[in-house]
Structure 1
Amino acid sequence: MSKLTATATPADNGTRLDRFLSEQFPDLSRSRAKALVKEGAVTAGGALADDPKAAVRPGITYEIDMPPPVPATPEPEDIPLDVLFEDEHLILVNKPAGMAVHPAPGSWQGTLVNALLHHCKGELPGIGGVERPGIVHRIDKNTTGVLAVAKTEAAHAGLSALFKTHDIERTYLAITRGAPRPLVGTVDMRIARSTSDRKKMAVIRDEESEDGRHAVTHYRALETFGELDKGTGLPAAALMECRLETGRTHQIRVHMAHIGAPLIGDPTYGKHRGIKAYGAGEAFIEATTLARQFDRQALHAASLGFVHPVTGDDVFAEAPLPEDMAALLTALRRM
């Protein structure tokens, strides 16, 4: 990873950060500079600078950790896809755990884009003049479930508009350690990149701060399991349904952890992989062991619905719960 460094002069005072960076480094477009800032790759005087609109201050040294370049053209790969819906404009797939959406450092091959380039060979008129699938939204590498992809320029523009105006019905299922109180509610709290760990996102607690992006998650407990401790009546785990108004990075994982119900298996936002519970017997041991050994965040994009941006038809797709989460639920129900 290379570094780019520039120190602001009095003439730069008040310039937007993304503009300043693009002016300092001619090979860096303003849109690319903006993306790097949002990705947490920029520091100002050693502190994280994650707002592209922030005003540059003279005398401050700005540094960019430049990631390795992504290969210009991902290669098509014959990877089986679980297709839930497809026409000439769109394809909706059920993404498995462990599959990244885009090629990136550490995942140049085996991604959803690689698979789609093979599956849609000869059917992609092009997005922006390049034969590629139009990825409008993402789910984490280790999250499963429904993902919509555009095959044409018109569908790509239409889907982008739907996501921008939040005219998309998205339902997720999550298995959590403990359960939130109340069991039904809404989390309306902004999310920004963590100032202590660039790989993490965090809730903005300061109501007067303008940092972060608006994020709203509606949740309800579909089932609760076991008891946290004898006589407390507090659940040891829960199956949660989460509906998104917005689609921020790690939104459900961050919001659920913030209200005291982190996802089982979450290596980033859960302090413990498993669950704390009161009980005994074989069923109890099986459930707690499975929870402890669960090796990804227990999160599944269960359904996706919207009005087709080209045909105007209603599109709705559901993805069945993956085997690992289904097995965990079965064990928890016996606990």
Structure 2
Amino acid sequence: MQDRCRMLQVMSIDACGKASLWQLAVDMISDMFLRSLPADDFCFHAAISACEQGGFWQQALGLVADMQLRKLNADGICWGSVLHAMKLAGREDLAQKTLERLRQRWAQPSARQVAGPIGTSMKKLAPDVVIGDGVLAVFKPAGCTSESMLERLLAKWRAGGWQGELTLVSRLDLPTSGVLPLALGGQADGPTQYLDAQYAARQVSKEYLCLAAGQSLGPRGARASIDTPLLVSRSWGERLGKRVEASAAGKQAQTKLRILELFDIPPELGGVEALALLAVRPMTGRLHQIRVHLASLGSPIVGDNAYGGCSLAGSRLFLHCRSVSLKDLSGSPFKPKYPLPEDLQRVLADLRPQSKDLEERSARPCVSQHSVRQPNTPGSRPNSAGDATPSRSGTMKRNNSMTRLPDEAPIVAEKGYCPDSPPAARPGSASSASARKQGGLLTGVMTNPQAANKKVTPLCFTHTYEKSLAEEKDKKSD
């Protein structure tokens, strides 16, 4: 009976986390301890994620502190969520100080794997590998999974006598080529935790090149931001994996793009309005994010059969991760780059001789930031709201959010609160101030599990945490 109650409680906390109901998730964790039901890492992760989306970094930090008191694993992903919450709340300075303290902890020899150095002979076995302090990057070709690429590299190096471990910190889709970062260490080692924290805090920048065919996205040089939420709906089977669709019920997702080049439409792509080479930066890391965002605008990637993309002769999915920018364990920038592979370069070479200067061609108006009702397309049927919905042939929904950016606007992450967070719940608002007066977990105070008679004893952490940072800074200045 107790196991069943615990399972229901864990499922409820997970649902609250996905719905950004952070206060309810935290209250449920406290209730589990009051009822002598153990809360594991998963429960805390869900509650921390809910706090992150609203920018409630004090509450997220309190949950991490409580995990440490209970001897639970507060890993790099948990800390990354805290850092992102700080950034959303306008405390980017505090986020950088916290990340630096974590880097120093995870860079200690005790937090690293015990393995021999990567010598010249092993570098010759994988000449395209770029190595930094605690991190490396390898070129992943299209047609192999990220896991198989990791296994290939490990097999080569272990044959050369290296006994270390490598860990994936991000993945590329099977048909996507490009930069694949790996941590030099096991899952629990410092290098992996540091990279996980950067990814979770959205401090890793990635740039992709892709060829999109469909509706016009603008003239050459134009920039745009796509902010349509994404939802993992169902599986398409083992070959295609999970299906993702643009949906207001999904998670926040943002993609920024810049049009690099426009081409004439080849005969095999008849009926297509524009063919454009794009530089794309995903500001969030959702599954199939770039592919679904472009398909939702009516301009899917060439070769993307899963999301309605058309095909060119001899072309696979035209999506390549050109560069990744992060920091290694020494705090130095780590920016590996890999140019377009030969097969994609040949596709562009075949298009360029017949291309014309299309810069002055007027582009169709871009979709506004608010959802706009689109006309029904062939193969789709209107729903109750009159919007075009996917048909059985796989046509994507066409209501989306895209904002044109000024030509000089850089493609960088923007500050501000998560749009899913209600204004009344943000720090500094009237409701937030009134909630703080009520005390308890909402003020950033956690429950002491050793409290007598199961009463909640507050354990203040926010003031002491910022005070410790200030004292550490004073010591360095002395």
TM-score with structure 1 length normalisation?
Answer: 0.61
1:173 touches 1:240 (CA, 8 Å); kept in 2?
Answer: yes
**Is the contact between residue 222 and residue 240 of structure 1 (CA under 8 Å) also seen in structure 2?**
yes
Within 5 A, what are the aligned runs for 1:1-335?
A: 16=11, 81=126, 83-87=128-132, 89-102=134-147, 111-121=148-158, 123=162, 125=164, 132-152=165-185, 153-178=189-214, 180-182=216-218, 183-195=222-234, 197=236, 199-206=241-248, 209=249, 212-227=250-265, 235-270=273-308, 272-274=309-311, 291-294=312-315, 296-308=316-328, 310-335=329-354
Task: Show structure 1 runs of 5+ residues with no match.
Answer: 1-8, 21-28, 35-78, 103-110, 126-131, 275-290
| d(CA) in 2 for partners of 1:119, 1:87 | 19
State whether residues 172 and 243 of structure 1, in contact with CA within 8 Å, keep that contact through their aligned partners in structure 2: yes
- Of structures 1 and 2, the larger Rg is shown by 2
Q: 1:213 to 1:80 in 2, by over 3 A?
A: farther
Q: 1:88 to 1:151 in 2, by over 3 A?
A: same
- Letter paired with 1:301: C
Unaligned runs of 5+ in 2: 16-39, 46-123, 355-478
State the alpha-carbon separation in 2 of the partners of residues 313 and 123 from structure 1: 25
SS of match in other structure, 2:343? helix
**CA deviation vs aligned residue, 1:55-101 (integer Å, no higher than 9, x gap):** xxxxxxxxxxxxxxxxxxxxxxxx96453411452111111111211
Fraction of identical pairs, as percent: 28
Quick check: which one's strand share is greater?
Answer: 1
Query: For 2:6 and 2:173, how far apart are their aligned partners in 1?
Result: 42
Q: CA deviation at 1:204?
A: 3.7
8 A Cα contact 2:231 2:247, kept in partner: no
Q: 1:311 and 1:10 mapped to 2: Cα distance?
A: 46
Return closer, same or farther for 1:250/1:189 CA change in 2, 3 Å cut-off. same
Q: Is the 8 A contact 1:221 1:239 kept in 2?
A: yes
Structure 1 residues 196 and 316: alpha-carbon distance in aligned structure 2, compared to 1, 3 A threshold: closer
Q: What's the TM-score, normalizing by structure 2?
A: 0.44
* Aligned amino acid, residue 200 of structure 2: K
Q: Deviations over 1:255-278 (max 9, x none)?
A: 1111111111112112x532xxxx
Q: d(CA) in 1 for partners of 2:339 and 2:230?
A: 29
Are the aligned partners of 2:246 and 2:293 in contact in 1 as well (CA < 8 Å)?
A: no
Amino acid at match of 1:267: N
Q: 1:146 to 1:82 in 2, by over 3 A?
A: farther
| Residues in 1 aligned to 2:180 and 2:288: alpha-carbon distance in whole angstroms | 15
